[in-house]
Amino acid sequence: MKALRYLLVKEYKQMFRNYLLPFFFVVLPFAMVNVVPRIATQEIKNLNLAIIDCDHSTLSARLMQKVSASEYFNLFAVCDNYNQAYDLLQRGDVDFIITIENEFERNLYRTGGAEVMVTVNAVNGMKGGLGNGYLTQIVMQYAGELSAENGTSVKHPVSVEPRYLFNPGIDYKPYMIPALMSMTLVLLVGFLPALNVVGEKERGTIEQINVTPVGRIEFILSKMIPYWTVGLFIVAFSMILAWKIHGVVPAGSIPLIFLFNIVYIFVISSLGLTVSNYSENMRQAAIVMFFFVVIFVLTSGLISPLSSMPDWAQEATRLNPLRYIIAAMRDIYLKGSTFPQLISQFIPLCIYGIVAGVWAVVSFQKNS
């Protein structure tokens, strides 16, 4: 293991002489933690709306005011007829059309009920669903107000008051940031090792190494350890950014976050090195890694919850190391989960680490 020291000196020097890499190590976490949570939000705001007011009454005007005062909606146009509004929807200018019926005010006074039609563009299901929910809420509120004013009904409207645990504001950021940290790591300490060994193959320097008696474990460790340290730096740096920029701090233990990430970085950099060992050139390695990264990210629960996937897909995600770390990071950050509570995430990661580590060493061939 004496040679390891010399190999490490070499790897660190090469890493920091490459002017691009250290730049990435700082800029990418910054972009991921600072920018992505702002742009990849699932809150729906600024929905464009067209209203057809067939009634032209005081009550219909009040409804229009209430809707356009909401932070969720912009009143894009008031139309005279449905065709005109539908045309706007077709063109993509608006996503919602509210039609207030002809005898809106009269019906309300006479029967205590009136109709409002909502047309929703559901091409983006999430946007449509949420927007419809918001609209319904506003209309119901308005109905409640009206009945209170008229004294037509004294009974309190039924309302559900949910209590949100762990993330009281249902803020998107504390949920996304811990997961984005894990994704940043895949891009840096998973992807870069994949280009490393194969890069030495392309430059021919691997020949000079292969003809020495250097051990395979030593060589692979010399490739792994620099990414390990860089990965842990990125975790620390991302945590500081999350705290300073968004005020997001873990509810649970920081050492536990590092424990998980030590294992996780080992897993992904081993996978990267394995891909590198099998590849003949950098392009090949990059394509294979790209495939893995996309699949890993999509099936990790980062964007869509695992529990809503079909059973077979849920089973398949067990092969995804990202799944375990994202679950663990979110639980530590939001719920303050402790090690015993996360053991079911920790053990699979460790098994994955052993398999990937052994594979990375075995696939490195000094003699073919």
Partner 1 sequence: MTDKIVIKAEGLTKQFGDFVATDHVSFEVREGEIFGFLGANGAGKTTAMRMLCGLSQPSDGKASVAGYDVAREHEQVKRHIGYMSQKFSLYDDLTVEENLKLFGGIYGMTPAKVKEKMADLLQELGFASERRTMVKSLPLGWKQKLAFSLAIFHDPKIVFLDEPTGGVDPVTRRQFWELIYRASDRGITVFVTTHYMDEAEYCDRVSIMVDGKIEALDTPANLKQMFGVSTMYDVFYTLARKAKRGDG
Using CB under 8 A, list all residues that contact partner 1.
Answer: 2-3, 5-7, 9-10, 13-14, 17-18, 203-214, 366-368
Cα separation values, 37 from 123, 171, 203, 333, Å: 24, 10, 39, 15
Which residue lies nearer to partner 1 by CB, 18 or 338?
18
Of 206 and 236, CB closest to partner 1: 206
> Nearer to partner 1 by C-beta: 145 or 207?
207
Report the nearest approach of partner 1 to the CB of residue 266 (Å): 24
Closer CB to partner 1, 209 or 262, in the complex: 209
Q: Which of 188, 167, 181 is nearest to 241 (CA)?
A: 181
Closer by beta carbon to partner 1, 214 or else 295: 214
CB of 94 to partner 1, least distance (A): 57
Q: Minimal distance in Å, beta carbon 208 to partner 1?
A: 4
CA distance 188 to 231: 8
Query: Smallest distance, Å, CB 214 to partner 1?
Result: 5
What is the nearest approach in angstroms of partner 1 to the Cβ of residue 228? 20
Which of 114, 4, 100 is CA-nearest to residue 55?
A: 100
Classify residue 327 by burial, with Cβ atoms within 10 Å: 0-12, 13-18, 19+. buried
Minimum CB separation of residue 14 from partner 1 in Å reads 5
Residue with tokens 């559901």: 122
Q: Which residues pair with 77 in a beta bridge?
A: 50
Q: Which is nearer to partner 1, 9 or 319 (CB)?
A: 9
Give least dist CB 360 to partner 1, A. Answer: 19
In sequence order, what are the beta bridge partners of 249?
Answer: none
Least CB distance to partner 1 at residue 333 (A):
39
Closer to partner 1 by CB, 13 or 38: give it: 13
The span from the CA of 83 to the CA of 93, in Å, is: 14
Nearer to partner 1, 54 or 209 (CB): 209
Q: What 3-state class would DSSP assign to 78?
A: strand
Q: Concatenated DSSP letters for 117-180?
A: EEEE--SSHHHHHHHHHHHHHHHHHHHHHHHHHHTS--SPPP------SS-TT--SHHHHHHHH
- Alpha helix ranges (H) inside the chain: 2-17, 20-30, 36-39, 58-69, 82-91, 104-111, 125-150, 173-185, 191-203, 205-210, 216-241, 254-278, 282-298, 311-316, 321-330, 343-362
